[in-house]
Every structure is written in structure tokens, then in C-alpha cells.
Amino acid sequence: MYGQLSYKSKQFFIAIIKLSIIVGASYYIYNKLLNNENLDFSEFISFLTKIDAFSTKNIVFLLFLTIFNWFFEILKWRILVSTIKKISFFEALEQSLGGLTASLITPNRIGDYGAKAIYFEKQYRKRIVFLNLMGNVSQMTITTILGIIGVVIFYSTYDLDLNYQKILRIFIIIVIVVSFSIFGLQRSRLKIKGFSIERLIEFIKNLPQRIHISNLGLSFIRYLIFSFQFYFFLQIFGVDIDYKSAMIVLSSSYLLASIVPSLAVFDVLIKTGAAVYLFSFLGVNELTILCISTLMWLLNFILPSMFGSYFVLNFKVPKASD
């Protein structure tokens, strides 16, 4: 249907999509800041003013960590895409930040997949979607491995009052759902727009080993940077906690937050809730964690998405002859 539209109709259709993404992302940011049930905006500003710890040096260093974090994400995307088409670092930056902006208003950030795909010609789009999936899965793999280690250490270190029967029931439900999902995939030979699971597995197997290694390696570096940034915020806020203890709690909270599907609108709430609960075992003030989580969200998602908005507005459909 889209291919049958005239050039002017296509441009109008794309302009509507661009505007919808920008308006939706702007509303999301506004609503999250001013109508946050967990943290009142005026209370947030008042708390930041009172601690008086944000020197120019600290601000510059925090921004440096954010840039460093996204540098490795953009580099990872460029390396993944290089398996089917060579792109510049600037093109990878444009696609990564544009995808981030589009992902803010979609469930589990799936808007990122579509946004990145339309930067490429039609013959590349299926593979682009799966390369994006590979990048996200590698990040989730690092989060899961380090998270499991963190949860084990956390459980053995702190006295947790857990309802084991409820946990067992949840575990059984998860096992049943996963089992039926796997069975269903095998029976139905699920296809994603004509791209079967079998072909996806074959596609992944055919990628060079260096791609898999760099994918996981860069995901690990991003994890370390993001975690250290949170720890640096703890130091700025005057929280007396050593790096090891902070990493145990952070890795556990990242794992708990990552396994819960959600709209991007609620993603920060889930991550914050997990962090608040786990850091309470270390005696860290709830307001401190709420403020740090909000600042992390602003630095690593909202600030980059503002630059992404520029790329969304200036997006042009690639020519098929390329």
C-alpha cells in the first residue's frame, strides 16, 4: 500500500509520523517530570538545591560518562550494520538516537526497531531488525549474567524476608509460559514478515565470530559505564557505600527491572522501584535513590532523545537505487 502512494503523499505521510513521534516523546518527558507519582518535581528540585554538590567538575564528568556510554552503543550498532552495509559513525549516531526518540512511546521500546529499519533500503530492513535484536539481546545477556551473580551475593549477604511459596508459584508460571511459547514456535514455525525463526538462527550463525565478541564486549563496557555513573551519583549525594556493595545492589536491580515487560513510560518507574527496595537494605534514603534514578534517566535517555528529535525531523526516506 505504501509503495503505491505518490511522492507527495509519501512525504506527507512521513511528516505526520515525524510529528507524532516528536509530540509523543515531548508529552512523555513533560508528563514524567511534572506528573510523577513517585517524586514530585518541586521536591526533586528542592532536594538537588539543598545538597549543593553539583560542581562544574562533577557535571562535566557526568556528561562525559553519558557521551562515553552512547559512544559505545553507536559503535556497537555501526559494527553490527557493517555485516550487511558500511555506514559512517555519524550515520550510526543518527540511527541510534533517532531510534531512541521513537522508542520512548512504544512498548518495550519496539519503536527503535522500526525507526532504525526505515533508515535503510527495503532489501536490508529484515536483517537490520535482527541485527538490532542481536544488539539488545547481547546487552540483556550481560545484564542477566551479572544480575544473577549479584542476586546470589545479595541473597547470601542480606536477611531477606521472602514469601517462598509465592516465588515458587511465579517461577512455575514462568516455566509454563516459556514452555508453551517454545512449543508454539516449533509447531507454528513462526515467521516475522516472512523471516522464519530457522532463518534467523541461521543468520546469526553465519555472522563472523568477531561480531559476536565485539557485540558482547561493547555491551559489557556500556554496563560498566552506566553502573559507575550511578555509583558516582551516590558519592555526590554523600551516600557512604563502597563500590562492591553498590554494584551488587545495582546488578540485582537491573536484572529485576529488565525481566518485567513495560511501556517505556513506565520503564523508569520499574527500575526505580527495584533500586529503592534493594538499596533500602543498605540504609540508603528513598528520596536519594529516586533523585539519582531520575537524573540517570534524564542524562542517558532524555538528553540523547532531544538530539534524536532533530534527526527524526530531518529524516529522509533512502532511495531504492542505493
Give per-residue pLDDT as tens, 118-128. 889 888 888 89
Confirm whether 114 is domain-assigned: yes
Q: Per mean pLDDT, which range of 20-29, 125-134, 292-301 is the poorest?
A: 20-29
Confirm whether 195 is domain-assigned: yes
Q: In 10 A of CB 274, how many CB atoms? A: 22
Give the list of residues 6+ apart from residue 194 with CB closer than 8 angstroms, or none. Answer: 126
Query: Which residue range forms the structural domain that includes residue 280?
Result: 2-313
Q: What are the counts of helices (DSSP H) followed by strands (DSSP E) for the chain?
A: 13, 2
Confirm whether 319 is domain-assigned: no
Give per-residue pLDDT as tens, 174-202. 566 556 555 554 544 445 445 566 777 78
Does residue 265 contact residue 235 with C-beta atoms inside 8 Å? no
Query: What is the three-state SS of 308-322?
Result: HHHHHHCCCCCCCCC
**Structurally, how many domains does the chain consist of?**
1
- Taking the CA atoms of residue 311, residue 317, residue 320 and residue 322 in that order, the dihedral angle to the nearest 10 degrees is -20
Q: What's residue 18's pLDDT? A: 52
What are 248's three cell numbers?
551488587
Question: Is the pLDDT reported for residue 43 higher than 90?
Answer: no
Confirm whether 318 is domain-assigned: no
Encode 81-90: b = buried (16+ Cβ within 10 Å), e = exposed: beeeeebeee
Question: Within 13 A of 128's CA, how many CA atoms are on the CB side?
Answer: 22
Confirm whether 320 is domain-assigned: no
What are 229's three cell numbers?
555513573
Residue with cell 550511578: 230
State the angle between helix axes of 286-297 and 264-279 in degrees (0 to 180), rounded to the nearest 10: 150
- Taking the CA atoms of residue 241, residue 246, residue 248 and residue 252 in that order, the dihedral angle to the nearest 10 degrees is 130
Confirm whether 321 is domain-assigned: no
Q: What's residue 262's pLDDT? A: 47
> Residue 196, SS3?
strand
Does residue 248 contact residue 150 with C-beta atoms inside 8 Å? yes
Prediction pTM value: 0.78
Does residue 286 contact residue 300 with C-beta atoms inside 8 Å? no
> Where is mean pLDDT largest: 43-47, 190-194, 246-250, 254-258?
246-250
What are 39's three cell numbers?
517524586
